[in-house]
């Protein structure tokens, strides 16, 4: 089994430095171009299976990458980005002023503190671990395309090579 990992194309929230876990953030023109470039680069790869986050920016990326193929896309909620709750579509500068106590706690102990009304790292990590546990279901496939998000893919890489979940920050997925 070979996993092909793709992060969704660029969004305006990425450019603006906003927390955009589950918020609907469409691809920018550059994000669309990035996905179209991947379409060209991956044209010769025969994907057997496509697994994708249920978030629109990832699904749009998958549709563009696979635009001339008749492959069904399997939606996997475990591939969704971390949910930032009240921090969705907010910049860290604003959070330092408007939710200073919680944001400071999260910055100082991101593994245990939880974004206000959001998903903590422990729950997020367990969700990605559930996806990893499911990979054995797909062992008979040769080439699996996974379209997801920075946090999920970084954590997935760390865990698949035997590193602890906290090591995810060693892997930047652009």
Residue 10, annotated ligand binder?
yes
Q: Closest by alpha carbon to 59, among 13, 27, 30, 14?
A: 27
How far, in Å, CA of 24 to CA of 98, rounded?
Answer: 22
Residue 57, marked binder: yes
φ/ψ of 37, rounded to 5, equals: -65, -40
Determine contact, residues 172/149, Cβ cutoff 8 Å: no
Q: Annotation-wise, does 88 bind a ligand? A: no
One of 78, 81, 88, 119 is an active-site residue; which one?
A: 81
166 counts as catalytic: no
Closest by CA to 60, choosing from 83, 28, 86, is 28
Q: Which two three-digit tokens encode residue 86?
A: 């009240």
Tokens at 154, concatenated: 């970084």
Any known ligand binding at 127? no
> Is 11 one of the annotated binding-site residues?
yes
Q: Is 39 annotated in the active site?
A: no
Is 159 a known ligand-binding residue?
A: no
9 is in an annotated binding site: yes
The candidate with the shortest Cα–Cα distance to 26, out of 67, 53, 59, is 59
**Token pair 């760390």: residue:** 158
Annotated binding-site members for substrate: 7-14, 57
Residues involved in catalysis? 8, 81
Binding residues: 7-14, 57
């Amino acid at each position: 089994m070979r996993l092909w990992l793709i992060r969704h194309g660029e969004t305006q929230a990425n450019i603006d430095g906003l927390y955009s876990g589950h918020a609907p953030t469409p691809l920018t023109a550059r994000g669309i171009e990035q996905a179209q470039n991947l379409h060209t680069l991956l044209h010769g790869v025969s994907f057997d299976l496509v697994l994708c986050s249920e978030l629109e920016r990832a699904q749009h990326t998958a549709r563009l990458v696979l635009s001339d193929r008749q492959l069904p896309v399997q939606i996997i909620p475990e591939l969704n980005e971390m949910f930032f709750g009240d921090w969705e579509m907010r910049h860290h500068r604003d959070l330092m002023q408007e939710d200073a106590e919680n944001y400071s706690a999260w910055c100082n102990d991101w593994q245990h503190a939880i974004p206000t009304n959001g998903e903590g790292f422990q729950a997020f990590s367990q969700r990605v671990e559930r996806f990893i546990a499911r990979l054995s279901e797909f062992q008979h496939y040769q080439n699996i395309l996974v379209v997801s998000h920075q946090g999920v893919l970084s954590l997935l890489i760390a865990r698949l090579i035997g590193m602890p979940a906290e090591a995810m920050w060693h892997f930047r997925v652009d």
